[in-house]
Amino acid sequence: MSEYVHTSVSNGTGFITLDRPKALNSLSLAMVRAITHALMAWRDDSAVAAVVIRSSSEKAFCAGGDIRFFYDAGRATPQGGSALVEDFFTEEYALNHLIHFYPKPYIALMDGVVMGGGMGVAQGGPGCRVRIVTERTKMAMPEVNIGLFPDVGGSYFLSRAPGKLGCYLGVTGVTIGAADALYAGLADHYAPADAMEVLEAILESTAGAELAQAIAAFAEPFKGAAGDSKLAAERAAIDRHFGAGSVPAIIASLKTDDSAFAQKTLQVMATRSPLMMCVTHELVERGAALDVAGCLRMERTLVRHNFEDGEVIEGVRALVIDKDNAPQWKPAVVEEVDDVMVQRFFQPVWPDYAHPLRHLD
């Protein structure tokens, strides 16, 4: 178990509290295991009717996986093939699958930073999820910024966002707020931060079986209070540019647009890994035709190739270790990325019968 994950049961509700504030609740393997252990224990427990996952800090729900750990473990072995890295991603993705198909209401308080792996433990399936955002919510799948790709089921939930919003969010890695999260279908309810104490009281006092309905009633007065969605305002441009068919075509399309949105998007994309933007574009396209298990298995294959390639090691070095913000991407520019480079990330690593996530359905 992990010292950074606290669990309890009260009034028919299981509570999971992430408590690693100095690291913005970045997930370690021990934390993944602790969350999994609690959810599996409660899944068939008739005394638990709902689950709430939250943070002990208002700064962050969860900022993602522990990328410093990825860097250290990835560098410690040839081609980044650390057994600990392998275990982390296999068990994290299995947890994402467990959450997606959880048979009881699964309530995520996405207050503060919600990125990467944080999205994976918040984006439950439509049959169980209740996702709450506040004005402090800063949501993103920012992996292309560190030479990775949107994983933890990102190929599934991004590919199912309206229009080309998922492609835009994945390829650029931009951060969005509450109104945009609601518009993109990545959140269900909005509540102002100063009402969170009231919500917490509701969570503690309401019987688990009645919790989802109680939250909906609590959030009803705040409908529309999240403000206007920037994604909605730029939706036509996003669909046009990010429907161009490839990352080079997207960039070419953006260059024909002198709007502030297009120019800012170009500036952002110029800082991302050219290779992983192209891989992400392909990932989202493929994800649209796969179920949850298929998406997670595809992502698990990509992780192995990604660490062997080393792009993520360089990205984490530049962003977190040396903090020079000057990653030496390979290739350095989108024009040098060819289809062979992209497609090799999707080549099978294991035969189907030996895939680490072969048991997911």
For the record, the structure tokens of 331 come out as: 């290739």
Strand pairing class (13-18; 5-10): antiparallel
* Of residues 94, 119, 75, 113, the one with CA closest to residue 32: 94
d(CA 361, CA 284): 20
- 214 CB-near residues (< 8 Å, 6+ apart): 202, 206
Nearest-angstrom CA–CA distance, 57 and 360: 33
- Residue in 92, 111, 143, 311 annotated catalytic: 143
Of 65, 118, 124, 147, the active-site residue reads 65
Active-site residue flag, 65: yes
Residue 5 phi/psi, 5° resolution? -130, 120
Sign of CA dihedral 213, 217, 220, 226: negative
| Percent helix / strand / coil, the chain, rounded to 5 | 55, 10, 35
| DSSP for 122-172, written as a single string | T---TTTEEEEE-TT-EEE--GGGGT----TTHHHHTTTSSTTHHHHHHHH
CB-based contact 133:187 (threshold 8 Å) = yes
Is 154 known to be catalytic? no
What six digits make up the tokens of 154? 């990102």
List the catalytic residue out of 64, 116, 117, 118. 117
Catalytic option among 66, 151, 234, 309: 151
117 part of the active site? yes
Cα end-to-end distance, the chain, whole Å: 26
Tokens read off for 296:
């997670």
Tell me which residues are annotated as active site. Answer: 65, 117, 143, 151
